[in-house]
Amino acid sequence: MTYVVTDNCIACKYTDCVEVCPVDCFYEGENTLVIHPDECIDCGVCEPECPADAIRPDTEPDMEEWVEFNRTYAEQWPVITRKRDPLPEAEARDGEPGKREKYFSPNPGQGD
């Protein structure tokens, strides 16, 4: 099992989760985060820290595409280990459906 970041992080990018990760397996894109599924140790401490409820275990239904999404971008983006402010529109976009299609950017974030 691994944990993955899903659609609800996009256009929010809360970073509460990165500070609690014991293995630094979060990677930062321009407007979202991902978890490297091969580095995650399945401890689960990140999941309750996410204000947007965007971190899910891969054992939930239909998570295969999110595992690959997280793997793909974790291999391209820089690691992030420090909490930063969320994106300005985070509160307004939290829970909005279809954020991947509307807002996702493949550009890397700044990382640490």
Residue 53 has φ and ψ, to the nearest 5°, of 55, 45
Asked if residue 53 belongs to a domain, the reply is yes
Write down the pLDDT at residue 1.
87
pLDDT tens for each residue of the chain, 112 residues long: 899 999 999 999 999 999 999 999 999 999 999 999 999 999 999 999 999 999 999 999 999 999 999 999 999 999 999 999 999 999 999 999 999 999 999 999 998 8
Asked if residue 93 belongs to a domain, the reply is no
Single out the residue of 53, 55, 37 nearest to residue 1, CA to CA: 37
Asked if residue 60 belongs to a domain, the reply is yes
Q: How many CB atoms lie within 10 A of CB 79?
A: 16
Q: What is the extent of the structural domain holding 71?
A: 3-82
Write down the pLDDT at residue 112.
87
The CATH number linked to 16 is: 3.30.70.20
Asked if residue 111 belongs to a domain, the reply is no
Q: Which amino acid is at 46?
A: C
Q: What is the pTM of this model?
A: 0.95
| Tokens coding 29 | 């894109």
Give dist(CA 110, CA 98) in Å, integer: 25
Cβ atoms of 44 and 35 closer than 8 Å? no
Q: Give how many domains the chain has, as a whole number.
A: 1
Give dist(CA 19, CA 101) in Å, integer: 28
